[in-house]
Amino acid sequence: MGVTEPEVAAAEANGTLLALAAERFLLPGERVYDHRELAERTGTQPDDLARLWLALGFAGMTSDEKRFSEGDVAMIRTLVADGTQLSEYTLHEARVISSSLGRIAEVFVDEMWDHHRTAGQSDHQALGEMAGVDVGRIERLLMSLLRAQLVAAIYRRAALHDETQGAGQPTLAVGFADLTGFTELSQGWSPQELTRVIVSFEQRAFDLIAERGGRVIKTIGDEVMFLFDTAAAAVELALQLCVIEGDDVPPLRVGVALGPVLIRQGDCYGPTVNLASRVTGVARSGEVVVDDAAAHALAGDPRFSLTPLGNVALKGIGEVPLSQVHSTR
């Protein structure tokens, strides 16, 4: 792997042998450039390169240490292939893409680490298994999924195109589902129990949202943010989420708001998002609470019954009329 004996000895001493091996296995090539030489090789300014490197989530670009390879040259050249100066928009794109890939990397490492530790392997034994990792398979998988997600994103954007042009932002239903009392309950859980609960919660939420034609925007700790085209679809999902199945996951509460939503680079913004988040805080265990716009959209739908909660003071928003939703089935 091109690792020197002193590097191996230092890695063994500080417990980073597996990480060093992963670095040389996944990022091969001799480290021959410092950051100024990398900038020269890629036709960028050192300050711009440092900003781009930081946007990608990596620190330490200003060191004079020779820590960059021809692989880094190829990556930077790809990023700045059109020769344009770095803009704030380009840097924002770099942050979003790299942070998303960082989470994907954590998923793979979780699986590897759990197997490594559960089996009681030494670092040397884990190194032997690492040599059998099919990196090409992982790359093909990611590219196939990216193509499928690009197609799905274009279909979503096309469906919203007419409304977006007319009103500036599409009207959508935003929801937040979180685990009731999670903070208190998790204090007494082992890491294994905590992992089991989070995995079970995310698995059920992600599957139900996808099954009903919605979209998971992101997870925030013990909370899932989701998006649907209509209030009825969002509330139907919310009610199903609140049905307790077994004792794998604590009870949920869900808040939904309907209104204009700004969709940018995989996330959602605007007053409707803020309102949905605050509405969730009003709901109690097992409850679905909606804002006034969603309540009006649900009125007359035989699948739901509404219980007005009156005007409720929401932090940073003020008093707004809310309703609790029940299923009539």
CATH number for the domain harbouring residue 186: 3.30.70.1230
Q: Provide the domain limits for residue 64.
A: 5-133
Residue with tokens 């109690």: 284
> In which element (H, E) is residue 71 found?
helix 70-79
Q: Lowest mean pLDDT: which of 48-57, 69-78, 185-194?
A: 185-194
Q: 183 and 305 share a domain?
A: yes
Residue 318 pLDDT more than 90?
Answer: yes
Q: Which residue has the higher pLDDT, 208 or 84?
A: 208
Q: 159 and 101 share a domain?
A: no
Q: 19 and 64 share a domain?
A: yes
Question: Last residue of a domain, which of 167, 186, 220?
Answer: 167
Q: Lowest mean pLDDT: which of 146-155, 160-169, 277-286?
A: 160-169
Q: 158 and 271 share a domain?
A: no
CA–CA–CA angle 75, 77, 82 (5° rounding): 130
Dump the DSSP string for 74-94: HHHHHHTTT-PPP-HHHHHHH
Residue 220 pLDDT more than 70?
Answer: yes
Question: Last residue of a domain, which of 125, 151, 167?
Answer: 167
Q: 85 and 197 share a domain?
A: no
Q: 105 and 146 share a domain?
A: no
Residue 127 pLDDT more than 70?
Answer: no
Per-range mean pLDDT, top range of 48-62, 118-132, 301-315: 301-315
Mean pLDDT of 98-117: 80
The Cα 29–Cα 70 span in angstroms is 7
Q: Lowest mean pLDDT: which of 39-48, 164-173, 203-212?
A: 164-173
Q: 103 and 229 share a domain?
A: no
Mean pLDDT of 309-317: 95
Dump the DSSP string for 11-35: HHHHT-HHHHHHHHHHS-S---B-H
> In which element (H, E) is residue 66 found?
none
Q: 163 and 202 share a domain?
A: no
Q: Tell me, rounded to whole angstroms, the distance of Cα 256 from its chain centroid.
A: 20
Q: 11 and 56 share a domain?
A: yes
Q: 225 and 319 share a domain?
A: yes
Q: How many domains does the chain have?
A: 3
Question: Last residue of a domain, which of 123, 146, 167?
Answer: 167
Q: 15 and 125 share a domain?
A: yes
Report pTM: 0.74
Q: 98 and 222 share a domain?
A: no
